Structure 1
Amino acid sequence: MTHEDAGHYAAKHPGGEIDPTIAEAIAAKEKDGKITCSAAHAIAEKHGCTPQTVGMTIDLLEKRIHKCQLGLFGYGDNKEKAIKATSTVAEPLKHAIEKAVDNERISCAAAWTVAKEMNMSKLEISSACEAMGIKITKCQLGAF
């Protein structure tokens, strides 16, 4: 969705229904109509559902997700990226990212997997992807 669509997130889920238990957990974690990516994932884990289910509920409640764990959105007043391209990418990391790439892009989930396999932070993976010109897609929460 574009910035012009802000506040109309429920439109992404026609016929979607709010899970009251998940909605209550979101309400407990949100502040000023926003919930962090980290908090949303913690809710999914605690309630045994997918991040996508939590993301849909956030959208249906017209809340915003911010502070993406990959650093892609929701930082600062301009909601900019928190990451910058790294100056160099070590060969083992480059190979791991290239192996996870599908159609010249890497999914959010695949980036997380690379981070875990390489024992690196998610932000380090995002920075490497930026340097390699690889876009991260398919947010696990459905934000992008």
Structure 2
Amino acid sequence: MAHEDAGHYGAKHPDGKIDTAIADEILEKEKDGRITCAAAHMIAKRHACPPKMVGMNIDLLEKRICKCQLGLYGYGSKKGKAVDASTPVGKELEKAIGAAMDGDRISCEAAWGVAKRLNLAKIEVSNACEALGIKICNCQLGAF
């Protein structure tokens, strides 16, 4: 959603219904109207539900997701990104990213998978993607 849509996140889900158990945990974990990506994923794990379900509840509660684990949004400065495009990219990582891509992009979930397979921090994969000019798409929480 665009910045002008801030505070109207629930509009993305016209037929969405709040799950009270998930909503209660979101409200417990949020601070100043924001909840971290990591906290949202922990809630999904605890409720054995897809991260998108938690993301929808965050939207319906008109809260914001911050501190993306891939470093893509919610960091305040530098367009809200924490990624570093100047990071050198090893051949193994470049090959793994290429294999995980769908067309000219890689999904958030696939980027996480690359990080797990290569025993890297998620931010290392997104730094590599930024350096290679590869866009990460389809946030697991539905933020982008």
TM-score range, shorter chain: over 0.9
Structure 1, 74-83 or 3-12: larger mean CA deviation: 74-83
Q: Residue type matched to 1:33 in 2? A: G
In structure 2, what is the equivalent of residue 22 of structure 1? 22
CA distance in 2, matches of 1:57, 1:34: 13
TM-score, length basis structure 1: 0.97
Q: Shift of residue 79 of structure 1?
A: 5.6
Q: Residue type matched to 2:115 in 1? A: A
1:93-129 Cα offsets, whole Å, 9 max, x none, are: 1000000011100000000000000100000000000
After TM superposition, which residue ranges in structure 1, 4 or more long, deviate above 6 angstroms?
Answer: none
Does the alignment pair 1:67 with 2:67? yes
Q: Secondary structure of the residue that 2:72 maps to in structure 1?
A: coil
Does the alignment pair 1:116 with 2:116? yes
In structure 2, what is the equivalent of residue 76 of structure 1? 76
Cα distance, 1:93–1:57 mapped onto 2, change above 3 Å: same
Q: Shift of residue 78 of structure 1?
A: 6.3
CA distance in 1, matches of 2:57, 2:87: 38
Q: What CA RMSD, in Å, does the superposition of the two structures yield over aligned residues?
A: 1.1
Q: Shift of residue 77 of structure 1?
A: 5.1
CA distance in 2, matches of 1:73, 1:5: 16
Cα distance, 1:78–1:95 mapped onto 2, change above 3 Å: closer
CA distance in 1, matches of 2:138, 2:53: 14
Q: Secondary structure of the residue that 2:80 maps to in structure 1?
A: coil
In structure 2, what is the equivalent of residue 139 of structure 1? 139
Residue ranges of structure 2 left out of the alignment (5+ in a row): none
Q: Residue type matched to 1:121 in 2? A: A
In structure 2, what is the equivalent of residue 126 of structure 1? 126
Cα distance, 1:78–1:96 mapped onto 2, change above 3 Å: closer
Aligned length in residues: 144
Residue ranges of structure 1 left out of the alignment (5+ in a row): none
Q: Secondary structure of the residue that 2:106 maps to in structure 1?
A: strand
In structure 2, what is the equivalent of residue 52 of structure 1? 52
TM-score, length basis structure 2: 0.97
